[in-house]
Amino acid sequence: MKKVLLHICCGVCAFACINYLKEEGFHIEGFFYNPNIAPEDEYTKRKNTAGKVCEINSIKLNEGIYDPASWDAVCSIHATEAEGGKRCNLCYEVRLRETFRKTLELGFDFFTTTLSISPHKKSKIINEIGMEIAQTHFMAIDFKKRDGFKKTMELAKTYNIYRQNYCGCIYSVR
């Protein structure tokens, strides 16, 4: 069975992505690496929620290092950009690069990300960045397809999963 590391941005988005990959017959582990999330209380809340969703689905969740200063050093040059602009592209890249590194460390075949399930995010851009980083190790999936977002919201409601009201970084709180 091929192994895929799923970068998880939050518990809500993870539900349908996990189901999708299970249906495709993969062995899955999650990876919570989101140094973009601020403040730290919010990071902890989303990490715990991702843990709960993984537990419900009987998959292991690996946690990355929470290093918001490193993230900010890369992304703050575009602090004033609107959501969906250059800052977000850098933010995707930071998270996907680390997920690729973790994929190799764990000896997994592939990685992908829950990010593409959000209607606020352009899957094409996310997948282009992933392909550029890792070519054949990256699975370019648009999790919005197959009613992904609708399904994940329904599951989150069923399991009473915490749903945040901003994307993640301090600039998106504004």
Residues that bind ligand SF4 (CB under 6 A): 36, 75, 83, 87-88, 91, 167-169, 171-172
In the complex, the smallest distance separating the C-beta of residue 24 from ligand SF4, rounded to whole angstroms, is 26
- Nearest CB to ligand SF4, comparing residues 79 and 104: 79
Q: Which two tokens stand for residue 122?
A: 């352009």
Cβ proximity to ligand SF4: between 9 and 139 the closer is 9
Numbers of helices and strands, H then E, in the chain: 7, 4
* Residue 30 bridge partners (DSSP): 6, 61
Q: Closer CB to ligand SF4, residue 91 or residue 139?
A: 91
Q: Which CB atom, from 100 or from 171, has the smaller least distance to ligand SF4?
A: 171
Q: How far is the CB of 159 from ligand SF4 (least distance, A)?
A: 24
Minimum distance from CB of 97 to ligand SF4 (Å)? 14
Rounded least distance, CB 11 to ligand SF4, Å: 16
| Residue 157: C-alpha distances to residues 11, 150, 165 (Å) | 11, 11, 15
> What is the number of alpha carbons within 13 Å of residue 8 lying toward its C-beta?
34
Cβ contact 105:98 at 8 Å? no
